[in-house]
Structure 1
């Protein structure tokens, strides 16, 4: 991973980070038509105002992946509580998969949680995001079933946690 840098995005990279996120969700069939989530996924400029966004870029500056780091009780918080850090919208460009970028971004979130003094990192994920679930479980995340919730009657999000 020495050829990939993880850092906050620059303003000129916001559009690319948003597109990578939409492409990743769409490639895996996780965008539901008609609910407008693609608009939220693209809006990196708004996310950087309300949360912390990280990108993975290669040596040419191409955005390969992104994740949004969320504090409890912020506008983007879904399942976090005081003392926890949450992450959302982990995405890797379909063309960059298999290079460890998702793992590197997740580890960066864990490092950020430690730096902020959080005791736990939590997240919620669509039931069908099986490859993401395998990554989380391989890194030591465990299910947090009591925080599972439904966005819409047909979309259930399942929660995971890891102590840091």
Structure 2
């Protein structure tokens, strides 16, 4: 599996993964259902938000973000979601580990 930078082409697929308003609320704290691709793509406009996708065998498996705060010298993992067909197979764990590696590789020791 490879962690790749998010691109706008991923937005519609990622937005379609939550299957209910409850899943959307747990995933990204929004009350909008369904979430639109435009919403997901728009998150990337914040310079402190760094979106990534986890890909395996050419298939999009997961999405997550590293939020960086240079002033506080810390990073936060956020909006982590796994594609429904990939759930229950350890993909979420692999995604979180890869995001943590990115945050630490960017020089952040404190990652939440």
Q: What range describes the TM-score normalised by the shorter chain of this pair? A: 0.7 to 0.9
Contact in 2 for aligned 1:47/1:68 (Cα 8 Å):
no
What corresponds to 1:107 in structure 2?
97
Q: 2:51 aligns with which of 49, 53, 63?
A: 53
SS of residue paired to 2:98: helix
Go from structure 1 to structure 2 and tell me whether the alpha carbon gap of 1:48 and 1:111 turns closer, same or farther (over 3 Å shift): same
**Inter-partner Cα distance in structure 2 for 1:43 and 1:19:** 11
Normalising by structure 2, we get a TM-score of 0.75
Normalising by structure 1, we get a TM-score of 0.54
- Aligned: 1:64 with 2:57: no
In the alignment, structure 2 segments of 5+ residues that lack a partner are none
**Inter-partner Cα distance in structure 1 for 2:104 and 2:52:** 16
What corresponds to 2:3 in structure 1?
6
Contact in 2 for aligned 1:66/1:89 (Cα 8 Å):
yes
SS of residue paired to 2:9: helix
In the alignment, structure 1 segments of 5+ residues that lack a partner are 74-80, 123-164
Contact in 2 for aligned 1:5/1:56 (Cα 8 Å):
yes
Across the aligned residues of Structure 1 and Structure 2, the Cα RMSD in angstroms comes to 2.7
Moved more, 87-96 or 40-49: 40-49
Contact in 2 for aligned 1:19/1:42 (Cα 8 Å):
no
